[in-house]
Structure formats: structure tokens, C-alpha cells
Chains A and B, each alone.
Chain A
């Protein structure tokens, strides 16, 4: 059983809106695909609109005489096996929002379509205003607008007394532009018009004001992340060094290795190489592979490299750990990265695999920008931020050539890692990445 929202399709000929002429169906009717739903009037013609699906009508989004914009919601259906229960309680699919289920190829064009709080439908403003503009994001059912059987003009979709409508017209204010009115049923008042007219001119008057405030409690993982971030931020004085790495050779190797596998042993991502190189680099610079117990004022330098992978999940940021990454070859690293990320995302990652990292890598892949200031995962002393890979011009001594570049934005705990230490470490890291052969040659 799914909710299907049908939007007014593009009726062509440059028509942007149409007036509901008559409904052929009512709420609760079972309709077949192609069955006529509604007749609409445009400047050019009267058109009958057939149903895109078979289902039961749960909502008619506009009344006879109302004008709807192409792309705005017209009818809601309940499709699927169980269509017998029609309640007005919230459905699982959120009603406001982009028409992801629109069957028409034209997406919503108008900005005043049916989002809660926008004036597209007169009486729904009234309902929204009754709850003082605050909602819990639970996907409430939408109200149906009702207007008199007279052909509906533009302004009548917004509640306002006749004098207010005149005043708005005289002031050149299209009442549809006001997100809602402050009157008890959401009607626009003279005061609202004055406030609208007085709004700062930097704000384009044509754009609707949004008064919706959504309250999202910070609990669970989100709260834990927040606390950890606050701790890192307050206890660790960060320095961030940004280094540009030429990954042309690395990428060439990676692609070649991926292409070479007859049966795919393991797909290699750039991150796998990064972790491999990181392990080697920290081997030479143990100062960055450590956990600083600042209460006891002791830095625990680890011989083993436990790499934390900052992973974005639906619940927020999680950091699964590759323990003893120094024992893994490239393939094992790649495989484990994949396993851990997936486990973190689907929530199956075990407690043992979280925590205990000695250095963390944070990569947003293509979304990684060109530089950032990552926050160290307390009580570690370093975090490697990986920015996006881009082709940039590189001066080779004689001309500019295109090379694949990738920045590393890395933060360090300046209490125990000086800039020099960080720079030298990064230099080694960069060396390994730019000349990948060095990663795999013994003693290089």
C-alpha cells in the first residue's frame, strides 16, 4: 500500500496553470488507470485528465474553480493491495516535498506548490496557522481547499478580507507571495501587508517568507558526536596543514590493477592506497600515531597502526577502525575498508570494531572540496582529511600539463606535534602517494 501523488501534467502550449472545471471523482472513489479524474480549463481549451494509476482517491488537492500550477499536486491515491482503509492519519510517505512519485515527465515548476506554510491552497494555510507555524516532521495529511463554485481568481486562494485584498492590489502585492497571514485563521491582515511592504529591499519581495520552524531534538548518536566534537575542539589546539598531492601515477596504477582482475578480487579505491601509504608514513613518524592522555599528560605512541575511517551514516558520523592496518596488504585493506564502512552504515558494526584508533582518515570523496579543517578524533593527535581529486594544470618546467591532484588537509594536536613534525610526516606521506612504487618496494 503506497501513497501516490499525481501532479498536474504539462498540458503544453506554454500553459503554466489551469483552472479546475469539474471533478469526475471524489475522495474514496476507486479509479482505474486512464479513468478520467478531472476536467481543467486553460486559456486555450478544456482538457480531461486521466488517472495515471489504479487506486483509491485519498485527496483532491484543489476545488472547482481553483487555479493550479502545472506540476502542483492534483490528486493523491492509495495504490496497492490494501486500499480499503482510508484514514486521514499521517501516511508513511511525507506529503510535502519534491514530487518524487510524479508520473508526469514535467516536474513541479511553481514555487507555490503544496508545501506546508505556502499559500498555494487557501484553507491549508488556515490549518497550518492554527498550529502556529511549528510542526513536527511527521508528514501530516494535507487539507483540501474549498472555494465557492464561482470561478476562482488568483487572490482568493489566500484568505483576506475585501479591504485587505484591495489594499494589497493597490500596493502591488500579490497575496500569494505572503507565506501566510497572522489572522486567527491565517488570513492576511493590514498589519501583514504593512510588514511585508516594510521588509528590507535586499530581500526580493517576490519570494515567499517561510515561518516554519522545525524542532529536532538532539539525542542518541547525534548527541554523542556533538560531545566528542566539543571535547576535541576545546581540549586540542589544532593546526591544519594542507598539502597538494599529485596522484596521477597512483590513479594510473589503481585503474590498471582494477582492470587487470579477471575475477574481481577486490575493487581498489584511492582510500585503500591512502591507508597503505599512511601506515608506511607513520612508521617513520610515530609521533602522529598516538593517543594523548591529557589528564595524565602522557602520550601513548603505538607501534601498531589502528586507522579510524570517518564514515557518514544515516545516524551520523561513525568511525569504524581497521585494527593493525600494518599487517594488511593492499587488498586486505581495501576489503576491510569496504566491510567496515558497510557495517557502519547498516548498523551491524561491532563495538570492538569501533574505538581504539590511533589515527583517523576522513574522506568525503568527490564532495571533499579543496581544503578543510578536520577535527581530531580525541584522544588521537592527528587526522588526515582527504579532499577531492581534480585535474589541475601542473608546471613541469617547460609547460603546463594536466595532472590529477588531490589535497590532503590534515590537523594535528599542536601540544604534542609541532608544525615541523607534521610537515615532515606529510612530506613522506606525499612522497609515497606520488611515487606509488615506493609503497611496495622493500626498504624504500
Chain B
């Protein structure tokens, strides 16, 4: 019998386990694959690695293609990419990270059991390990954290197989497809679509809504749409992929009454993710559900005593950092501390080119609730640093309450803006006002200066724009 059993070793699970171990709880983590879960092995990390490689390739290719060699650099022969090698590099860095997580778990005194866990009851798991010679183990615990994560959603008529891929398979291709149809214009589809477009694929994105990134405010999505267009990505909105003929390699796309055929060596299905609720005994636990999710309270407690659920298994943005924050909280709750979910905001980043960052309230949300706000938009075209990088698309926006200038929302689109998220989120959590940002020296030349400029603009006294 251990103190804590964590089912699932993704970012939520391993964080909960490490923290629990740090707090002196006897913790067991059950994970069928390498620790790190979707995030480390087939999600966040591999996709960013691929995007990085794609970006490097595209830069060199662009330099090679332009005769005037803008930066004075010349490449005489266009670059080639052996995707299998790229993937091998990616795999190596992933395995480096997963062994890093194993080390962290060990350091925290967590027992890692490699195998597929099935809950026999609320406090008992049966683990069937892979590998020869190892037998099924049964582990009983006083408290359980369910962190089984999510799975890519299927589309009827497009079962994942040879040439129909989910993001997992797309991150393991051994060659760059000549043509890809991406089903779904959300962030996963666009990120991967961007990567393959940069590698040279002809990419077509098919989205059922009337625009891609339907959840993102129009002003933030616009530069991304332009970026995709520059990459030659074709975007079909209010459209649906009806079928894919693997032999003729043609996808049939329906838009209203009309259909069209799009060539595709590969179809990437990226229409969303659903909580992973089958195959591990959830049905037998009879926990209260919240739609497809497991229902939890402010402490991530389920309807069963001493059973917690975190991460993509619970309702909320499917983000690794949310799972990690929940994991930390749950570990502290189990250790007897008084904790509850009290974050003011959960930031979100989309790694398209340009990148998008949203933290806190958007302007339209403020309007819906009748709150008067000040908005400051600073275009990155006016940023010296952006110019030195040869990429000035996008902007930084701050949203603040009109009455006391409290910053309640921060949004940005542009190259590298993901790195601004930390400062923006911190400002909101620390109850910063526009004046606090204005009064803080922002180093020059950085894209981060745009934050201070946006604050000045919100106050009606922009300096550089």
C-alpha cells in the first residue's frame, strides 16, 4: 500500500508524482510508455522540434531561392531535407527528455512502474508491464491521481491507417509528403501544416468553421492567415473532407453543395482531442462525469473520496502547463496543504508562424460582460528588434480595466512572442496596472518592449507608435 498512486506519466502525472515525492509521500507512478506522456513523446516537444527544423530549412531555402540574398548570404544549391534524419534527431532529444523525467522521478523517490494500468477499484490498480518476464502487479494506494490524458479525435470515414495520420504518426514520417490535406484548422493542424509547408509540401487545410483558428480573436489570427498564405498553404473554410481514396491519393472536399478533389499523399486528421477514458477501468469507478470529462472540483477531487483527476481528463484547455499546475496542486492537497485552483489565467500559445499568445480576458469577452476597458495595440512593425530579425508581422495587445488600469488580458501575435508569455502572465497574476508596466524598464532592443509600448498606447500616450 502506497500513499499516492498516479495513473499516467504525462506532464500532469509526473509533476504530481514528483511533487508528492518531494513532500514525502510514498508515490507510485504507472505509465505504459516512456514518462512524459503525449506532451513529451508525441505532442508539444516533438512538434516544436519539427517546427524548428522546418523553420531552419525554410530559411535556408528562402535564401537560396532569392537572387539578391537580402542578408548578403548566398547559398548556391538549395537545401535538401532527409526527414528520417530529422525525426531521428527529434527522437533523440525526446528520449533525452524522457530519461530526464525518469531521473527527476527517481530523485523525488517516486516508484515508476512501466506498464498499462487498469483500475480495479478506486484505490487499486493492476499493471500489466510490457517486456518479457515481468508479471502483472497490483498496487493499492490511499489516494489516486488519474492523469490519463487525451487522444486524438477520430473523424468518421477517415480512420487512421496507412496514409491517414493523426499528429502522432505525422511526427514520425520518414519523408516529406508532396501534398498533405490537413483536416482541421485548429492549432494542431496549423502547426503541423506550417511545418510541412516549410519542408516543401503542398498543404491544404480544410476547416468546417468559417475561419481557421475559430477560437482566436480575428486581429490575432489575421497575421497567421497571411503567414500561411505566404507559405503557399491553401485554406478551405466552411468545408469538410468527405473521403480519401488511398489508391488515387485524392481527398474529396465538400463545401456547401459543391465538392472538389484535392491531391494528397497523406491526410492529417487534427480535429481535436478527447479525454482518454477507456481501457483503464474508468467505467468501473462510477465517477461523476462532466460530458466526456471526469468531473472535478476546485481541488481536482472527483466524486470519489481521495481520487483526483487532472490534465486533459478534466474540462478545460488541453494544455500541458494546466495539467502541471493541477498536478502540483493535487500533490500539495494530498500532503495536507490547503490549496485550491486559484490561478487568475492560463496562458495559451499557438506555434504557427507568426506565433500567437493569449492570456486572460479578450476584448470581446470584456464587451460581453459590459466591462469598460482600455486597449493598447503595438504593431511589431514599429519594433526595432523585429526589424533586425527581418520579421515584423504581428502586434502586442494589452487589455486593462478602464477604471483602475488593472491589466486583465494580454495577447500577441508575431515571431518569438511565445517567450513573452511568462512576463505577460506574471503581470496579470501580480495585479499589475498599466502604470506598473510603463514604470518597468523593458530592455532594448527586444520584442518585449512592445509590452511597455502597448501599455503606453492603452494610456493614450504611445511613444514609438
Instruction: Please report A residues at the B interface, Cβ cutoff 8 Å.
Output: 23, 26-28, 59-60, 63-64, 123, 126-127, 130, 143-144, 146-151, 153-156, 159-162, 165-166, 169-170, 172, 183-187
User: Of B403, B405, B431, which contacts A143 at CB under 8 A?
Assistant: B403
10 residue pairs, one from A and one from B, having the closest CB atoms: A27-B370, A155-B342, A187-B431, A148-B345, A169-B338, A153-B341, A153-B298, A161-B430, A153-B342, A185-B406
Q: Which residue of B lies closest to A165 (CB)?
A: B342
Check B339 for interface membership: any CB of A closer than 8 A.
yes
* B406 surroundings in chain A (CB, below 8 A): 123, 126, 159, 185
Check B316 for interface membership: any CB of A closer than 8 A.
yes
Binds A, one of B234-242, B360-368, B380-388: B360-368
Instruction: Map CB proximity to A onto B284-325 as digits: 1 under 8 Å, 0 otherwise.
Output: 000000000000001000000000000000011100000000
Docked-complex contact B344 and A147, CB < 8 angstroms: yes
* A184 surroundings in chain B (CB, below 8 A): 433
Q: Which residue of A lies closest to B299 (CB)?
A: A153
Q: Which residue of B lies closest to A41 (CB)?
A: B290
How many chain B residues touch A (Cβ–Cβ < 8 Å)? 33
Q: How far is the CB of A31 from chain B (nearest CB, A)?
A: 14
Residue of A151, A162, A169, A185 with most partner-chain B CB within 10 A: A185
User: Of B346, B369, B429, which contacts A162 at CB under 8 A?
Assistant: B429
Docked-complex contact B341 and A146, CB < 8 angstroms: no
Q: Which residue of B lies closest to A171 (CB)?
A: B338
Q: How far is the CB of B204 from chain A (nearest CB, A)?
A: 31
* B433 surroundings in chain A (CB, below 8 A): 184-185
* A144 surroundings in chain B (CB, below 8 A): 369-371
Q: Which residue of B lies closest to A58 (CB)?
A: B370
Docked-complex contact B369 and A153, CB < 8 angstroms: no
Check B99 for interface membership: any CB of A closer than 8 A.
no
**Complex CA–CA separation, A124 to B404 (angstroms):** 10
Instruction: Map CB proximity to A onto B335-359 as digits: 1 under 8 Å, 0 otherwise.
Output: 0011111111110000000000000
Q: What are 12 pairs between A and B in contact, CB < 8 Å? A: A26-B369, A126-B406, A144-B369, A147-B361, A148-B360, A151-B298, A153-B298, A154-B342, A156-B343, A160-B431, A183-B431, A185-B431
Q: Beyond A123-B406, A130-B404, is A148–B344 a contact (Cβ under 8 Å)?
A: yes
Docked-complex contact A156 and B361, CB < 8 angstroms: no
Q: Which residue of A lies closest to B316 (CB)?
A: A150
* A60 surroundings in chain B (CB, below 8 A): 369-370
Check B408 for interface membership: any CB of A closer than 8 A.
yes
**Complex CA–CA separation, A28 to B345 (angstroms):** 27
Docked-complex contact A127 and B316, CB < 8 angstroms: no
Docked-complex contact B431 and A155, CB < 8 angstroms: no
Docked-complex contact B361 and A148, CB < 8 angstroms: yes
Q: Which residue of A lies closest to B368 (CB)?
A: A26
Docked-complex contact B369 and A63, CB < 8 angstroms: yes
Check B401 for interface membership: any CB of A closer than 8 A.
yes
Docked-complex contact B403 and A130, CB < 8 angstroms: yes
Q: Which residue of B lies closest to A28 (CB)?
A: B370
Q: Which residue of A lies closest to B314 (CB)?
A: A151
Docked-complex contact B404 and A154, CB < 8 angstroms: no
Docked-complex contact A123 and B343, CB < 8 angstroms: no
Q: How far is the CB of B61 from chain A (nearest CB, A)?
A: 40
Given contacts A146-B369, A148-B361, A153-B340, 7 further A-B contacts (CB under 8 A): A63-B369, A126-B403, A127-B403, A146-B361, A150-B343, A156-B343, A183-B431
Q: Beyond A169-B337, A172-B338, is A156–B344 a contact (Cβ under 8 Å)?
A: yes
Q: How far is the CB of B392 from chain A (nearest CB, A)?
A: 30
* B317 surroundings in chain A (CB, below 8 A): 150
Docked-complex contact B370 and A156, CB < 8 angstroms: no
* B360 surroundings in chain A (CB, below 8 A): 148
**Complex CA–CA separation, A126 to B407 (angstroms):** 12
* A170 surroundings in chain B (CB, below 8 A): 337-338
User: Of A149, A155, A165, A185, which contacts B365 at CB under 8 A?
Assistant: A149
* B370 surroundings in chain A (CB, below 8 A): 26-28, 59-60, 144
**Complex CA–CA separation, A143 to B360 (angstroms):** 18
